[in-house]
Amino acid sequence: VTAERLLDPRRIAIAGIACGILAFWIALPPFTVRAIGVPFVFGFLGLGAGLWAVTRGQRKLGLWAIGLSIAGVAAGIWAQSRTTDSLDAVVSAGLVAATLRFATPLAFAAIGGLFSERSGVVNIGLEGMMLVGAFFGIYVAAETGSWPLGILGAMVAGALLASIHAIFTITFLADQIVSGFAMNLIALGITGYLFRSIYGTEGTPADIPRIPSITMPEWFRDIPFVGDVFGDLSFMTWLVFALTVAAWLVLFKTPLGLRLRSVGEHPRAADAVGIPVKRFRYGAVITSGALAALGGAYLSFGFGGSFNENMTNGRGYIALAAVIFGKWTPFGALGACLLFGFGFALAIPLQGEADISANLLSTLPYVLTLVALVGVIGRSRPPAAVGRPYVTQ
């Protein structure tokens, strides 16, 4: 029995994928293996495992193993041809920290989108909700001189925009995607209009209170690598970690979460057992707006220190892709956001070291999102009632 389990094609394929990744990884710091045979060995192992799996019914995973093994060998050999110093500059604690920074706003929006989708309402308005969060957050922070009030302002603005989406999609049964798209345009128009009207051509003031970083004690920061990554992270990054755990607890460990999920899976059945479907959907959509706005607030006065028109640059849509990629679970969504954040973060050192155009590298997170969607989507199942308005009988 154990041999059978060990030789399960699915496991073999996953091992093959791991080998393909290892073929590249061992050539990077901190390992920096410089023997040309090593990536080949791992690559061949991965390739073999992939072929084995493909011939035994695990076509998709097996093909991934084959593709990753070939790519891993090529990338490993390329990395071996670089000096250790230049690799150190690319692959470093700084890269991991940057990944976390870029993933934070995405993760806020993704967790928000998760609540909305689990309740059965598609919210492509996340983008706009991030944008109003970014603008009204920095506006309130600048007016009151207090960053917590700024965060509160952002959440209120995001929740208000989300409640418009909720009214139109839940009560008036408007098409959820069209309404969400309209939310994005409204956000673009409102924030652009007020930004020009309030700040003119000068832009937001330079002395706004920023969301602080949390500096760890001295001994923690001295731990190699871990200290460099986690020693000085933004308050918002820690908050999003906590939020992910909280979202998982609420969605999967409480009666409230069970009801919310049942509303998204089978609203009629939920209604029949007395769950107020529309009220749950309102709650979930408004929550998603407030959370997405937190991500926007981080963009405008946490990570950077200013607001620009349309500064979210499609991040709301990437967050939505992260929800899908993460199979509608909080940790999956966080993982997907880290992957897409890595796409943003990788552009910075590559630009310096490999001398590739910044603009060309900016396509990386978007291409990565596309590739991720292609790789995963056949195997992930959305909440059954997502996108369908519910009419009370």
Partner 1 sequence: VSENPPPGESSPPTGSRYTETLENWFRTRAGGLVVPIIATLFAFLVGGLVVAATGHNPLASYKAIFEGTGLNPFSYLNEDERRGAWFDLQQTLIVFTPLVLTALAVAFAFRCGMFNIGGQGQYFVGFYASLVIGTHLEGLSTFPHVVLAMVCAILAGAVWGGIAGILKASVGAHEVITTIMLNWVAIYAGQWLFELGGPLQGDQESIPKSNAIFESAHLPHVPFATGLQPLHVGVFIAVAALVVYTILLNRTTLGFEVRAVGFNPEAARYSGISVGRNYFLALAIAGAFAGLAGSLDNLGWKFTIATNDIQTSTVGFIGIAVALLGRNRAVGIFFAALLFAALSVGTSSRQLDADVFPPELAGNLSTLIQALIILFVATELLVVSIWQQRKRIGLGRAKPAGAEA
Which is nearer to partner 1, 115 or 168 (by Cβ)? 168
Name residue 277's amino acid: V
- Please state, in angstroms and rounded to a whole number, the distance separating the CA atoms of residues 336 and 343: 11
Q: Considering only residues 328-387, where is the footprint of partner 1 by CB under 8 A?
A: 357, 359-360, 362-363, 366-367, 369-370, 373-374, 377-378
Q: Identify the H or E element spanning 10.
A: helix 9-25
State whether residue 215 is helix, strand or coil: strand
Which is nearer to partner 1, 212 or 314 (by Cβ)? 314
The answer to whether 172 contacts partner 1 (rule: CB under 8 A) is yes
The answer to whether 313 contacts partner 1 (rule: CB under 8 A) is yes
Q: Please, what is the minimum distance in Å from the beta carbon of residue 312 to partner 1?
A: 12
Phi, psi (deg, nearest 5) at residue 213: -90, 160
Among 2, 197, 392, 393, binds partner 1 (CB under 8 A): 197
Residue linked to tokens 């995001």: 158
Among 175, 228, 265, 271, binds partner 1 (CB under 8 A): 175
Cα-to-chain-centroid distance, residue 27: 27
Q: Please, what is the minimum distance in Å from the beta carbon of residue 324 to partner 1?
A: 7
Which is nearer to partner 1, 32 or 362 (by Cβ)? 362
Q: Please, what is the minimum distance in Å from the beta carbon of residue 11 to partner 1?
A: 24
Among 33, 38, 190, 275, binds partner 1 (CB under 8 A): 190
Residue 78 Cα distances to 27, 68, 83, angstroms: 9, 15, 11
Q: Considering only residues 201-230, where is the footprint of partner 1 by CB under 8 A?
A: 201
Residue 139 Cα distances to 123, 162, 199, 300, angstroms: 25, 19, 10, 10
- The strand ranges marked E within the chain are 213-215, 232-234
- Please state, in angstroms and rounded to a whole number, the distance separating the CA atoms of residues 149 and 186: 24
The answer to whether 312 contacts partner 1 (rule: CB under 8 A) is no
Name residue 58's amino acid: Q
Q: Please, what is the minimum distance in Å from the beta carbon of residue 382 to partner 1?
A: 9
For partner 1, how many residues bind (rule: CB under 8 A)? 45
Asked whether 378 and 324 are in contact (CB, 8 A), the reply is no
Q: Please, what is the minimum distance in Å from the beta carbon of residue 106 to partner 1?
A: 14
What DSSP string describes 338-370? Answer: HHHHHHHHHHHHHHHHT---HHHHHTHHHHHHH
For the chain, how are helix, strand and coil distributed in percent, rounded to 5? Answer: 75, 0, 25
Among 66, 109, 124, 385, binds partner 1 (CB under 8 A): 124
Phi, psi (deg, nearest 5) at residue 381: -120, 120
Among 38, 41, 317, 350, binds partner 1 (CB under 8 A): 317
Q: Which distant-in-sequence residues (6+ apart) come within 8 Å of 106 by Cβ?
A: 295, 315, 318, 319, 322, 337, 340, 341
Among 25, 42, 168, 307, binds partner 1 (CB under 8 A): 168
Span from 31-39, 66-74, 183-191, 245-253 in contact with partner 1 (CB under 8 A): 183-191
Span from 95-103, 288-296, 298-306, 320-328 in contact with partner 1 (CB under 8 A): 320-328
Which is nearer to partner 1, 76 or 120 (by Cβ)? 120
The answer to whether 37 contacts partner 1 (rule: CB under 8 A) is no
The answer to whether 181 contacts partner 1 (rule: CB under 8 A) is yes
Which is nearer to partner 1, 39 or 343 (by Cβ)? 343
Residue 148 Cα distances to 35, 108, 138, 244, angstroms: 53, 17, 11, 20
Q: Considering only residues 278-307, where is the footprint of partner 1 by CB under 8 A?
A: none
What string marks each residue from 84 to 123 as x (binds partner 1 by CB under 8 A) or -? Answer: ----------------------------------------
Q: Please, what is the minimum distance in Å from the beta carbon of residue 244 to partner 1?
A: 21
DSSP state of 377: G
> Which residues of the shown chain bind partner 1 in the complex (CB under 8 A)?
124, 164, 168, 172-175, 177-179, 181-186, 188-190, 192-194, 196-197, 201, 313-314, 317-318, 320-321, 324, 357, 359-360, 362-363, 366-367, 369-370, 373-374, 377-378
